[in-house]
Amino acid sequence: MPCTCCIIPNDVLTRLSQDKKLSAVVRKQLVDTVQVSHELREMRTQAAKLTNVVAARASGMVTLAAAPAVTVYDCKHTQTLPGTPVPKPKTSSDASIKRTFNQTTKVAKFYQQVFNRNSIDDHGMTMMSSIHYGEKYNNAMWNGSQMIYGDGDGSIFVDFTKGNDVIGHELTHGVTQHSLQLAYSGDAGGLNESISDCFGSMFRQWEAKQDVKKADWLIGKDIMGPAAKKKGFTCLRDMANPAAKHCLAPQPTKYSQITPGMDPHYSSGPPNLAFCTACTTLGGYSWAKIGQVWYNSLTGFGPTPNMTMKAFAARTRQGAQTLYPGDATVYAAVNAGWTTVGL
Amino acid sequence: MDRLKIERVGGFAGFGGPHLKSRGEVAVSDLPAADQKTVDSLFADPNKVPAAHPGQADAFSYRITRGAKTIEVPEHAVPSTIKNSVKDVLE
């Protein structure tokens, strides 16, 4: 796939290179920059291909670091990435910076302690986040290399770094990229999104030491702005009740309700409900057994970019039996989860 | 007058769903020349619309309509003038 992002857009460089108010020397340098940028983007595309090849051979690879470095960059309300590096994010006076550093560090700890995973790629790769992205930007995302967080418009949404489930969600997209490599459309897209909601929610519960009964199973509760709350929306998504009226983004509850071309943030409803049902059926902590089954299904078999939900469900049922051969309640809980959504 | 209708969809919150909308409109003639050229090239060959970055998730994309034709473009390939034309609303 071609990569076309760049710090200074090509059309700006080209326009400036034609600006006669600039000296001939500067204009030549701008032309040169366009050409160099093209080669850098080609290199980036090749780097992505290298990631895939290396990942397939990961068992023989050397670990980069025992525990990942966590870096934070300040975009200062521009959309230029990665932004200005923050030298000491842990003690920053900027609450977004400090929170992003602390929560990302905790997500790393969560993956290490609960799943024995060393960072996003399981080899200690640096976890990079950019905050204050854009102006009143109502989004958080994973761009294939790093996390990016907007401040929200202060009305519909507040600062996206305020949601620890949001941070867990975005980081998990990186984990998926470095394991199952799910595509972002169709069944695979819904699974991709669901896995991020599942692990984002698990992280939130783990940090609060909540069992499945105490957990609220809400995604985006902490980023709801005053305008959203005033209309009665308490969250973006509800894993326990995907179609609920209090959801800003209500979802289907049955696999049969997913339609072609559906946004993955909506088609994730049924697998979210399956996971939540499996967890609440079994009881205890979500990450203890059902989380392990999901993690094994995500990371134990190599890439399947176009995995169907039916195939993933079968894999988790198999995983429940393989991982917990002496405990039929785990299989029963996983089975109950998928049966609830029609898979 | 040649106008573009823009809808921003996707993102972590799922813009484009029942309650979250992000829409805008802009006259092509109001765009800087370079952006007009970008728009022309995007509509000229939809097969050449840039793809999303590998592994990317929760990014916005923009559905841009010009006349009877609509294309969907990942955010990183959309000129700022078009990105800045949309307004996020709750319905």
Q: What is the pLDDT of residues A129-157, one digit of tens each?
A: 999 999 999 999 999 999 999 999 999 99
Q: Hey, what are A132's tokens?
A: 């204050």
Q: Which residues of A touch B56 (CB under 8 A)?
A: 141-144, 184
The ranges of chain A with pLDDT < 70 are: 1-15, 29, 32-65
Asked if B53 lies within 8 A of A1 by C-beta distance, the reply is yes
Spell out where chain A has E strands: 70-74, 84-85, 127-131, 140-142, 147-149, 218-219, 237-238
Q: What is the pLDDT of residue A48?
A: 55
Q: What is the pLDDT of residue A60?
A: 53
Q: Which residues of B touch A154 (CB under 8 A)?
A: none
Q: Hey, what are A37's tokens?
A: 């940028």
A173 is catalytic: no
Q: Which residues of B touch A5 (CB under 8 A)?
A: 53, 76
A265 is catalytic: yes
Q: How many CB pairs under 8 A join A and B?
A: 119
Q: pLDDT for B44-84, tens place per residue? A: 987 888 888 889 999 999 999 999 999 999 999 999 999 99
How many beta carbons lie within 10 A of that of residue A251, not counting itself? 30
Q: What is the pLDDT of residue A1?
A: 43
- The contacts of residue A103 (CB under 8 Å, 6+ apart) are A161, A164, A167
Residue (of B42, B89, B83, B81) closest to B62 by Cα position: B83
Q: What is the pLDDT of residue A85?
A: 98
Catalytic residue (one of A132, A170, A173, A193): A170
CA distances from A306 to A184, A185, A188, A192, B35 (A): 9, 9, 5, 10, 35
Q: What is the pLDDT of residue A4?
A: 47
Q: Taking the model in full, what pTM does it have?
A: 0.86
According to DSSP, the β-strands at B20-27 and B87-90 are antiparallel
Cis peptide before A271 (omega within 30 of 0): no
Q: What is the pLDDT of residue A25?
A: 77
According to DSSP, the β-strands at B69-74 and B60-66 are antiparallel
